[in-house]
Amino acid sequence: MLDHVKAKEAVKSGLAAVCAWCEHYWEATDQRPSNHSGCIIKKCGGPSVHMAFPEYKGPWNPKEKYCFLCGKSADAIVDISGKGAIGVCDDHVSRLKEILSSNGKAVVIQDKQVLAL
């Protein structure tokens, strides 16, 4: 079971909220030395690796209702290269645009919808 206090603190320290609220992340963290962090699920990731956190396991159902970065209610749902969807709030649309643009993906923002092309 997730420790909500630890998850909130992890988000405040810069961890993506979708990871902070995922059981896989904490299972990995509990199994590793304190100077190593990260998830043990190698086939999971976010928009920086053209994925939509396909192995997410946690209380967000569906996960795209929440901003993947901060955990607030999502203002837009974003399709990531046809591999699933993530949520993003208005505050983080520009950050998502930076992430997708750095991967050679065109980004169109229209009527609060972000489309990864």
Q: What confidence score (pLDDT) does residue 117 get? A: 44
Closest C-alpha to 105, from 26, 46, 36: 46
Q: What confidence score (pLDDT) does residue 113 get? A: 53
Q: What are the pLDDT tens digits along the chain (117 aa)?
A: 789 999 999 999 999 999 999 998 888 777 766 655 667 677 888 888 888 999 999 999 999 999 999 999 999 888 887 788 899 999 998 888 888 777 665 555 555 555 544
Q: What confidence score (pLDDT) does residue 114 get? A: 54
Q: What confidence score (pLDDT) does residue 32 get? A: 67
How far apart, in whole angstroms, are the C-alpha atoms of residue 88 and residue 66? 7
How far apart, in whole angstroms, are the C-alpha atoms of residue 29 and residue 38? 7
Q: What confidence score (pLDDT) does residue 37 get? A: 60
Give the residue extent of every domain in the chain: 4-116
Q: What confidence score (pLDDT) does residue 83 get? A: 80
pTM: 0.82
CA angle 66, 79, 25 (to 5 degrees): 50
